[in-house]
């Protein structure tokens, strides 16, 4: 099942042991190499470390009441897992990132994304068009298979437009006029 990424911000994190709200999600930590959410930065008055993180591996279930985990022992500090610390320090934020095609045409900016609820892998990007394009086009939905590259500045996607072909040099050709009768004699010859 696909979920909008924005729907998982501010979601309650419930403890299975106590049945109470332990914290809430603040923002995701996304690995740009595979577009997978590996953890969420969480906020709440019961947390001992600031910032605290909940790894996706610790989430038992997503339900109507929020994310369900075993207990508050599942929250960790940002420095406790090297991979999460590296991704956090990278500061990658998918929302607001510019999207261009392979020909360097601006398509818009990422407004939201859809992720697979079971794996937390981002499947689609919701791209908001620029002001002029938004008058004629609706927002774009880009599947992860269309992404060519993600760098510090933008996301590059495959283009559907044809790449311009190189302009060929004019070739000098002798054209034949189809309406002029072909004579077998030269034009300057006299009939005797």
CB atoms < 10 A from the CB of 13, how many?
A: 24
Q: Give the per-residue pLDDT at 67.
A: 95
Q: Give the per-residue pLDDT at 181.
A: 63
Top-tier CATH class for 2-90: mainly beta
Residues paired with 118 in a beta bridge: none
Q: Give the per-residue pLDDT at 66.
A: 93
Q: Give the per-residue pLDDT at 139.
A: 80
As a CATH number, domain 98-157 is 2.30.30.240
Query: Under a CB-based contact definition with an 8 Å cutoff, are residues 13 and 69 in contact?
Result: yes
3-state SS, residue 36: strand
Q: Give the per-residue pLDDT at 184.
A: 58
Q: Which of 13, 23, 28 has the alpha carbon at shortest distance from 43?
A: 23
User: Which residue has tokens 């979601």?
Assistant: 11
The full set of domain ranges for the chain reads 2-90, 98-157
Please state the length of the chain: 192
* Sign of the C-alpha dihedral computed for residues 12, 6, 114 and 51 taken in this order: negative
Give the separation between CA 156 and CA 163, rounded to whole angstroms: 15
Q: Give the per-residue pLDDT at 18.
A: 87
Give the separation between CA 78 and CA 138, rounded to whole angstroms: 39
Give the separation between CA 114 and CA 121, rounded to whole angstroms: 9
Q: Give the per-residue pLDDT at 48.
A: 87
Same fold, 2-90 and 98-157: yes
Q: What is the pLDDT along the chain (192 residues), one digit of tens a residue?
A: 899 999 999 999 999 988 899 999 999 999 999 999 999 999 999 898 889 999 999 999 999 899 999 999 999 999 998 899 999 999 999 999 999 999 999 999 999 999 999 999 999 999 998 776 656 667 889 999 999 999 989 999 998 766 555 555 555 555 555 556 665 555 555 554
């Amino acid at each position: 099942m696909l979920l909008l990424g924005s729907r998982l911000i501010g979601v309650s994190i419930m403890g299975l042991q106590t049945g109470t709200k332990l914290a809430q999600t603040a923002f995701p930590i996304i690995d740009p190499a595979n577009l997978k959410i590996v953890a969420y930065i969480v906020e709440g008055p019961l947390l001992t470390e600031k910032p605290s993180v909940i790894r996706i591996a610790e989430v038992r279930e997503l339900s109507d009441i929020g994310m369900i985990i075993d207990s508050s022992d599942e929250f960790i500090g940002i420095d406790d897992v090297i991979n999460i610390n590296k991704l956090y320090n990278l500061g990658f934020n998918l929302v607001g990132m510019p999207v261009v095609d392979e020909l360097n045409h601006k398509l818009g900016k990422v407004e939201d994304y859809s992720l697979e609820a079971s794996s937390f892998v981002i499947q689609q990007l919701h791209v908001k068009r620029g002001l002029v394009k938004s008058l004629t086009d609706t927002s774009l939905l880009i599947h992860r298979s269309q992404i060519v590259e993600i760098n510090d500045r933008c996301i590059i996607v495959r283009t559907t437009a044809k790449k311009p072909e190189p302009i060929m040099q004019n070739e000098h050709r002798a054209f034949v006029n189809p309406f002029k009768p072909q004579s077998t004699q030269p034009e300057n010859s006299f009939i005797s």
